[in-house]
Structure 1
Amino acid sequence: MTVDDRFEQDLMETVRDRVIDPRSAIITGPVSDWATDFSHAEPEWAADPYLIQDELRERCPIAHTERFGGGWLPTRYEDVAAIAYDTDRFSSRAIIMSNVRPPLELAPVGGVPPISSDPPFHHDARKLLLPAFTKTEVAKQEQATRAFCHALIDELQGQPVIDAARDYAQHIPMRVIADMLGFPPEDGPQFREFVEHALEGVNAPPEERVPRIQKLFDYLLTQIRDHVDNPRDDLTTYLINIELYGQKLAPTHVAGTMSLLLIAGIDTTWSAIGASLWHLAKTPADRERLVAEPGLLPTAIEELLRAYAPVTMARLVKADMHWNGVDMKADDWILLSFPAANRDPAQFDRAGEVVIDREINRHAAFGLGIHRCAGSHLARMELRIALEVWLERFPDFSLADPAAVTWATGQVRGPRTLPLRIG
């Protein structure tokens, strides 16, 4: 069997294995009570999850839902942290809460290693990626990233209103990740489609979900074939050739990691850049201060990450148990909200406010525990460069129409449309 055949056969088997859980009846529509019927797929959540989470933290700190086959939503920092660190009772084999529960046989690797991997496999799979995301390696990309941000703004110069999410924020991580993986940068529109289908279409019926997964893996297979035929110095060639336990990575491991880098690497940073620009557009005092004190930006970025943490992860309960006052069942979902943890007043002073010069800021925007984001240095670099260039080129901007701002649904939240008035 050729390398191409091996990849294709294994990848198609992986897609077929992503079955819809028969207990996961698709439930849509308005939430009746967030304590007993929560859903991160509904527009109320996308519009403002913070009010919901704050109310739950006071009334019902571990909410429950029958949607998605059953799940739990902890809203206190201590509970989120406890689950994130507890790999004995909570599995990461699925990190997107949806109507798809990957079979137990996928553990400990999961579909998108290492973020979907459980110990002990997780440690070794994660270690393979770390060299590409060190501060030294990330610093090598700063110049190109800055030049690309300026090029984007060159194209926007002169427009009185700019959609900063569509025409600026989304393109920056698309270009960075495409360069790292060795993908054609002109494939950006496909990347957006993959992101939206994977993270925002979690409540779509099976006849829609499965073909979307298939389309992503078809694309990855095409890129793998091209890299097998034309090796180059990028992450895809590295993943194809690297060995773990004396053997090359399984094709499903290669493609799963590529899909993780492509989807999570784009959407998280796209969302963080957009949310930061949204805040600065609606908060002139903070915008003016950062323009006057550019040295404050790194501190401000940490606060913007805390206040508008884009990422919520999921876990699966390993076995029936009574945990912190609730009765969890095996394979119940846990929606692990780092945004809720970041706004817990028991953990942060003035938790609901954005304090851009906050000095002590041990936020959980990049996660907690063994799955803390391996690409945090890259994300910080992209966010910093994106804001530096924007503030340099457009020091005066505001929301053109607050009602026109829309936010992504699902587990990565950020502006999808963000019309800003320049000047």
Structure 2
Amino acid sequence: MTTDDRFGETFRDGREERPLGTRNEIVTGPVSDWATDFSHLEPEWAADPYPIQDELRQRCPIAHTDRFGGGWLPTRYEDVAAIAYDSDRFSSRSVVMSNFRPPPEMAPVGAVPPISSDPPFHHGARRLLLPAFTKSAVSKLEESTRAFCHGLIDEVEGRDVVDAARDYAQHIPTRVIADMLGFPPEDGPRFREFVENALEGINLPVDERIGRMNLLFDYLLAQIRDHVDNPRDDLTSYLINAELDGRKLDPDHVAGTMSLLLIAGIDTTWSAIGASLWHLARTPEDRRRLVAEPGLLPTAMEELLRVYAPVTMARLVRDDMRWQGVDMKADDWILLSFPAANRDPAQFDRADEVVIDREVNRHAAFGLGIHRCVGSHLARMELRVALETWLERIPDFELADPAAVTWAAGQVRGPRTLPLTVTFSNLRSSTN
């Protein structure tokens, strides 16, 4: 038994005894009509969702599906923004659209606060995390992140072909989040497995999916217990000792927030890094310009985030209602496609083009409303450092085989494999 009774054996048992909510039949297979039968799990969506979203925006701006028990897909910026800001009519108690709906009584906390939390609980839960993700806090992590990026490139130097996803992008946020939470860095391969289970295994039988998620929470419980017995200066110990409304956090709150940081903090960022490198590999004029003008990178990053925004979030309709001309039912899913919003020509000039020197760029890559990404400063730092280091060390690269690039299915889209033919630079900044 640990020195904190909150984290005894009853923690896991209590989590398993929660009501399971609504289960729906597994629905996979080819889409008959994206306006009436969309699915974010199909291979053509993973490979290139943008033509589908563009066609829907013109023909049927709020698409529907009967899959996953029923859901909606708005594709216009104004509709996505309206839902994201409307926490009265749309609940965040589950942000991953799947064949399982958590029960309404899980609100307002949800399974992974604060992203799964509704007001009024959300405000305090989010406020707890802000100190760890300020610009000043994030800046303290930049030196070690840059050194780690150089170390990754050192390991592949001399190769003719490098998988920029598996050998580079996927390691960077994994190490940063592990260090922040105080987890063993050698557990990185397990983190990647947890990410895939949470975000790509969403159409598995519910019992199997719950079993896989329990592996994550078993791991987190072990880390919590170790931190209770051996406190240190990291984000896990901070959450264990944090108070909300004069009380220490419930065990489920601690573990849920840790799982959010682990899953969301890893896949979203490695997807942004990978997509950016994919674009530069297939667009030599942009790559050469950024090598020649490194000061342009922060502006270019925002454009790459806009055009290749990795994250789509989900909401659940609270009550039956008619909204924007469609009849929504209680517990219908809403799939908030920030990538589709970011390519809406009503919001952005030359919306389907990558304009790396675009000066005005109010994109929604980090979300909108009360759930806008609390880790946006961290993600931007990791993306900038990853690209700066790569372009310094590997200024010349191109796709080794465009057909060999694979993309994740589901709500976080980024390259899973990205083989590049590379040429290493003989120069390395003396400051690194």
Residue matched to 2:235: 235
Task: Write out per-residue CA displacement over residues 190-219 of structure 1, whole angstroms, 9 at most, x where no aligned residue.
Answer: 000000000001111123201101101000
Q: Deviation of residue 10 (structure 1)?
A: 3.0
Task: Tell me, in whole angstroms, the C-alpha distance in 1 between the residues paired with 2:160 and 2:221.
Answer: 42
Task: Tell me, in whole angstroms, the C-alpha distance in 2 between the residues paired with 1:218 and 1:384.
Answer: 34
Task: Tell me, in whole angstroms, the C-alpha distance in 1 between the residues paired with 2:8 and 2:399.
Answer: 47
Question: Which has the higher mean CA deviation after the structures are superposed, 282-291 or 10-19?
Answer: 10-19
How many residues align? The count is: 422
Q: Deviation of residue 354 (structure 1)?
A: 0.4
Q: Could you say if the C-alpha distance between residues 16 and 190 of structure 1 is closer, same or farther in structure 2, counting changes exceeding 3 Å?
A: farther
- What runs of 5+ residues in structure 2 fail to find an aligned partner? 424-432
Residue matched to 1:221: 221
Look up the SS of the partner of 1:255 in the other structure.
helix
2:175 is the alignment partner of 1:184: no
- What runs of 5+ residues in structure 1 fail to find an aligned partner? none
Task: Tell me, in whole angstroms, the C-alpha distance in 1 between the residues paired with 2:43 and 2:117.
Answer: 31
Asked whether the equivalents of residues 281 and 397 of structure 2 are also in contact (C-alpha less than 8 Å), the reply is: yes
Look up the SS of the partner of 2:383 in the other structure.
helix
1:172 counterpart letter in structure 2: I
Q: Deviation of residue 398 (structure 1)?
A: 0.2
RMSD: 1.1
Asked whether the equivalents of residues 7 and 252 of structure 1 are also in contact (C-alpha less than 8 Å), the reply is: no
2:162 is the alignment partner of 1:162: yes
2:377 is the alignment partner of 1:353: no
2:18 is the alignment partner of 1:17: yes
Asked whether the equivalents of residues 15 and 213 of structure 1 are also in contact (C-alpha less than 8 Å), the reply is: no
Asked whether the equivalents of residues 17 and 102 of structure 1 are also in contact (C-alpha less than 8 Å), the reply is: no
1:21-420 matches, cutoff 5 A:
21-22=22-23, 24-420=24-420
1:9 counterpart letter in structure 2: T
Q: Could you say if the C-alpha distance between residues 8 and 42 of structure 1 is closer, same or farther in structure 2, counting changes exceeding 3 Å?
A: farther
Q: Deviation of residue 227 (structure 1)?
A: 0.3
Look up the SS of the partner of 1:180 in the other structure.
helix
Q: Could you say if the C-alpha distance between residues 18 and 304 of structure 1 is closer, same or farther in structure 2, counting changes exceeding 3 Å?
A: farther
Task: Tell me, in whole angstroms, the C-alpha distance in 2 between the residues paired with 1:11 and 1:340.
Answer: 38
Q: What is the percentage of aligned positions where both structures have the same residue?
A: 80
Task: Tell me, in whole angstroms, the C-alpha distance in 2 between the residues paired with 1:170 and 1:141.
Answer: 18
Look up the SS of the partner of 2:118 in the other structure.
coil
Q: Deviation of residue 5 (structure 1)?
A: 6.3
Q: TM-score, normalised by structure 1?
A: 0.98
Task: Tell me, in whole angstroms, the C-alpha distance in 1 between the residues paired with 2:201 and 2:57.
Answer: 27
Look up the SS of the partner of 2:102 in the other structure.
coil
Q: Deviation of residue 395 (structure 1)?
A: 0.1
Look up the SS of the partner of 1:165 in the other structure.
coil
Task: Tell me, in whole angstroms, the C-alpha distance in 2 between the residues paired with 1:301 and 1:16.
Answer: 44
Q: Deviation of residue 21 (structure 1)?
A: 1.9
Task: Tell me, in whole angstroms, the C-alpha distance in 1 between the residues paired with 2:377 and 2:333.
Answer: 29
Look up the SS of the partner of 1:314 in the other structure.
strand
1:173 counterpart letter in structure 2: P
Look up the SS of the partner of 1:36 in the other structure.
coil
Look up the SS of the partner of 2:166 in the other structure.
helix
Q: Could you say if the C-alpha distance between residues 35 and 377 of structure 1 is closer, same or farther in structure 2, counting changes exceeding 3 Å?
A: same
1:401 counterpart letter in structure 2: D
1:99 counterpart letter in structure 2: N
Task: Tell me, in whole angstroms, the C-alpha distance in 2 between the residues paired with 1:15 and 1:262.
Answer: 21
Asked whether the equivalents of residues 76 and 344 of structure 1 are also in contact (C-alpha less than 8 Å), the reply is: yes
Q: Could you say if the C-alpha distance between residues 205 and 150 of structure 1 is closer, same or farther in structure 2, counting changes exceeding 3 Å?
A: same
Residue matched to 2:428: none
Q: Deviation of residue 11 (structure 1)?
A: 3.5
2:159 counterpart letter in structure 1: Q
Task: Write out per-residue CA displacement over residues 356-394 of structure 1, whole angstroms, 9 at most, x where no aligned residue.
Answer: 000010000000000000000000000000000000000
Task: Write out per-residue CA displacement over residues 13-57 of structure 1, whole angstroms, 9 at most, x where no aligned residue.
Answer: 3244362624x1111111111101111111111011111100100
Q: Deviation of residue 97 (structure 1)?
A: 0.3
Question: Which has the higher mean CA deviation after the structures are superposed, 11-20 or 231-240?
Answer: 11-20
Task: Tell me, in whole angstroms, the C-alpha distance in 2 between the residues paired with 1:298 and 1:101.
Answer: 39
Task: Tell me, in whole angstroms, the C-alpha distance in 2 between the residues paired with 1:302 and 1:70.
Answer: 34
Look up the SS of the partner of 2:315 in the other structure.
strand
Asked whether the equivalents of residues 95 and 313 of structure 1 are also in contact (C-alpha less than 8 Å), the reply is: yes
Task: Tell me, in whole angstroms, the C-alpha distance in 1 between the residues paired with 2:13 and 2:422.
Answer: 48
Task: Tell me, in whole angstroms, the C-alpha distance in 1 between the residues paired with 2:67 and 2:222.
Answer: 36
Q: Could you say if the C-alpha distance between residues 13 and 363 of structure 1 is closer, same or farther in structure 2, counting changes exceeding 3 Å?
A: same
Asked whether the equivalents of residues 11 and 251 of structure 1 are also in contact (C-alpha less than 8 Å), the reply is: no
Task: Tell me, in whole angstroms, the C-alpha distance in 2 between the residues paired with 1:204 and 1:135.
Answer: 39
Look up the SS of the partner of 2:384 in the other structure.
helix
Task: Write out per-residue CA displacement over residues 227-276 of structure 1, whole angstroms, 9 at most, x where no aligned residue.
Answer: 00000000000000011111100000000000000000000000000000
Task: Tell me, in whole angstroms, the C-alpha distance in 2 between the residues paired with 1:294 and 1:157.
Answer: 22
Task: Write out per-residue CA displacement over residues 127-178 of structure 1, whole angstroms, 9 at most, x where no aligned residue.
Answer: 0000000000000000000000000000010000000000100000000000
Q: TM-score, normalised by structure 2?
A: 0.96
Look up the SS of the partner of 1:110 in the other structure.
coil
Task: Tell me, in whole angstroms, the C-alpha distance in 1 between the residues paired with 2:287 and 2:7.
Answer: 53
Task: Tell me, in whole angstroms, the C-alpha distance in 2 between the residues paired with 1:88 and 1:391.
Answer: 45
Asked whether the equivalents of residues 272 and 309 of structure 1 are also in contact (C-alpha less than 8 Å), the reply is: yes
